[in-house]
Structure 1
Amino acid sequence: MKVNSSSRSVAVIMSVSLFVLSVSLEAAVMKLDPEDGEQIMEYFKTHALLSREKALLQASVREQKKLLVENAKLKKDIEQLKTQLQEKQRRRAAKTLLSSAPPPQTLNSAPTTPANQLPSSAGATAALLANPLPSSSSSHERRDKQSRRRRGERKGVSTAPSTSDLLSLGAESRVDVSRLDLRVGRILSVRHHPLAEAMFVQEVDVGENGPRTVVSKKSPLSVSLQLQGSLAVLLCNVKACKLKGVVSQARLLCCCTSDDCIEPLFPPTGSAPGDRVTFLNYPGEPDRELQSKQKVWELLQPDLQVDGRGVANYKGCSFEVKGKGLCRAPSLTNCIIR
């Protein structure tokens, strides 16, 4: 690079000048002061070496600053490209859904027969005799259907699916971890469940106007009572349900081993209540609320695990709070998350 070549040229020039200066200066100093000439020359040589090292250090600092600026620019470009890619993927998914949707059903009116094709009176009489009129019940049904169709036309009812319906169908067909609304929460208080000895009741701040109530189970090695004031990871778009008389509004994610050792999953240092936990390979938006009939959590939970380094991941993709780090288990490794 240019900085490296310039720093080398500066070093070479200083070395040559130092040599020439030392030869000529040493002869002059020894003439003026034979006794202290050697000490003066040592001082000059030391000062020259220090100047050279200072020049090299300044060149390396300039090179480091330039690299930092280039890295920041590359990171910004990568973020922009990632945003554009996500937008293109959303548009492509919406376009695919719209193209695969059935065409709107139009209400066809009864076919009209041209005047020149109308049967004569004799032919009409024979046709009526061959095909007797339908029963009164079937004629009533036809009239009801026609009247319902007319009412639908007047009200402007269309049987074609809307764009929002198609997008919602596309979101439901996508089953991956991006549908989970995972957030950082601060546990404000922990108490025993009044009606169940095997449960805790926690008040958790997840960055909203008020705290959420979370009911979680105890374990033989549970330390939930010691978590007051600490940060944790919560699933916030589960449907609120009543557990032994107390409504639970979120789910506390925990790392669990086969011998029922349970630890809460911790977010990275520097996280704040309300921070989203995201996944680099799954950039979609979470559902507003997970529907119990779709069983999204039940389908995704087997792939939520803690690896050998203690890092939480989904199919090898780490739990990440953007700009702050990865979510980890306090001490457990190679276990599941539930």
Structure 2
Amino acid sequence: MEDVDNLFNPSLAAALKKLDPEDGEQIMEYFKTHALLSREKALLQASVREQKKLLVENGKLKKDIEQLRAQLQDKQKRRTGKALLSQAPPPHSLSPAPNNPASQQAPPAGATAAAPVTPHPPSASSHGGRERPGRREEEGGHCGGEIKNRLLFLARPSSDPLSLESRVDVSRLDLRVGRILSVRRHPLSETMSVQEVELGGDSPRTVVSRLGGRTNPDQLQGSLAVFLCNMKPSKIRGVASQARLLCCSASDDQVEVLVPPAGSAPGDRITFLDYPGEPDRELPTKLKIWELLQPDLQVDSKGVATYKGCGFEVKGKGLCRAPSERHSANMLLL
């Protein structure tokens, strides 16, 4: 960070211009761009390391879930077996009464019939014996409930977008067609331009891009392009940018603005047949979603913009293409 700040030191810029009046400013811009790219690369590497760490932790949580599930199943089996044993009738109730000749003799004449012998009423201990399974079930249910709650907590998808259950694909990007109303040079940089873009909202958005001298501003004015609209607004050399321009490039010398299909209108959303999800309201800055997706954003041999082979499509109107590229090219934000 200090290196980048030092590059913006006016005294250093003045010294370079004094040493090399013709190319001093270009050298300064080169140093600044190189420092910014190095810082972005370091941030991306840090985010990748954090992602790997989260994946390892997620694997440990899955192992814990499997162990708790096995413990829960074992406890349920033991509890069911005990309940079945406690509900079985006692052995003496199943055995027939012994043959007692005296008991089978008729009562003497004149004697009242003896009242039938009733079994002893169940004692409190027998009632308690029948109630124990219920208590055990309640206790077991309480224990099982705690385990189930823990399982649900561990199995619940993490709110961290980098976890395995989260969705990291191109549908998180809010890509829309925009009409460039005006183009002007950036007041503090010759390699940047500022556009006013109609994106279907109530008012145009300001977009700062690094097209520099690689594109004629007169050709951009009034044309349609594709913009990433849900990145957090940020200041670029003092000018707030509310969206980013999507371009394609086969090399540093060949940078072209991606072209929407004929008949597109400002505000039309770019969709993907294989990835129907809804875009984020605003992409989280720390997670570097664009950097994670960029390697899979390509222009194919037919000039069609794709994500993992799935075309950039404006529903009912067609596919987005590179204006002249007919070979593989990378996507980038300028």
CA contact (8 A) 1:255 1:265 kept: yes
Q: Which runs of structure 2 are paired with 1:63-78 in the superposition (5 Å)?
A: none
Q: Using the TM superposition, give the Cα deviation of residue 166 of structure 1 relative to its aligned residue in structure 2, in angstroms.
A: 5.5
Q: Which residue of 1 aligns with 2:308?
A: 315
Q: Which residue of 2 aligns with 1:328?
A: 321
- Does structure 1 residue 191 correspond to structure 2 residue 181? no
Q: Could you tell me which runs of 5 or more consecutive residues in structure 1 were left unpaired when the two chains were aligned.
A: 1-99, 103-160
Q: Which runs of structure 2 are paired with 1:80-91 in the superposition (5 Å)?
A: none
Q: Which residue of 1 aligns with 2:210?
A: 217
CA RMSD, 1 decimal: 2.8
Q: Using the TM superposition, give the Cα deviation of residue 167 of structure 1 relative to its aligned residue in structure 2, in angstroms.
A: 8.4
Within 2, Cα distance between the matches of 1:214 and 1:167?
34
Q: Which runs of 4+ in 1 moved over 6 A?
A: none
Q: Deviations over 1:207-251 (max 9, x none)?
A: 011111000012553234421111100000011110011000101
Q: What fraction of aligned residue pairs are identical, expressed as a percent?
A: 66
Q: Which runs of structure 2 are paired with 1:31-70 in the superposition (5 Å)?
A: none
Q: Which residue of 2 aligns with 1:201?
A: 194
Within 2, Cα distance between the matches of 1:200 and 1:317?
31
AA paired with 2:330?
I
CA contact (8 A) 1:254 1:263 kept: yes
Structure 1 residues 168 and 232, CA, compared in 2 at 3 Å: closer, same or farther? Answer: farther
TM-score, normalized by length of structure 2? Answer: 0.50
Q: Could you tell me which runs of 5 or more consecutive residues in structure 2 were left unpaired when the two chains were aligned.
A: 1-64, 69-151
Within 2, Cα distance between the matches of 1:201 and 1:220?
13
Q: Which runs of structure 2 are paired with 1:62-211 in the superposition (5 Å)?
A: 169=160, 173-211=166-204
AA paired with 2:272?
F
Q: Deviations over 1:283-304 (max 9, x none)?
A: 1110111111111000001111
Secondary structure of residue in 1 paired with 2:189 = coil
CA contact (8 A) 1:219 1:260 kept: no
Within 2, Cα distance between the matches of 1:288 and 1:168?
16
CA contact (8 A) 2:184 2:217 kept: no
Structure 1 residues 167 and 282, CA, compared in 2 at 3 Å: closer, same or farther? Answer: farther
Q: Using the TM superposition, give the Cα deviation of residue 260 of structure 1 relative to its aligned residue in structure 2, in angstroms.
A: 2.4
Q: Which residue of 2 aligns with 1:236?
A: 229
AA paired with 1:277?
I
CA contact (8 A) 1:234 1:250 kept: yes
AA paired with 1:284?
G
TM-score, normalized by length of structure 1? Answer: 0.50
- What is the aligned counterpart of 2:254 among 254, 258, 261? 261
CA contact (8 A) 2:193 2:212 kept: no
Structure 1 residues 283 and 191, CA, compared in 2 at 3 Å: closer, same or farther? Answer: same
Q: Using the TM superposition, give the Cα deviation of residue 317 of structure 1 relative to its aligned residue in structure 2, in angstroms.
A: 0.3
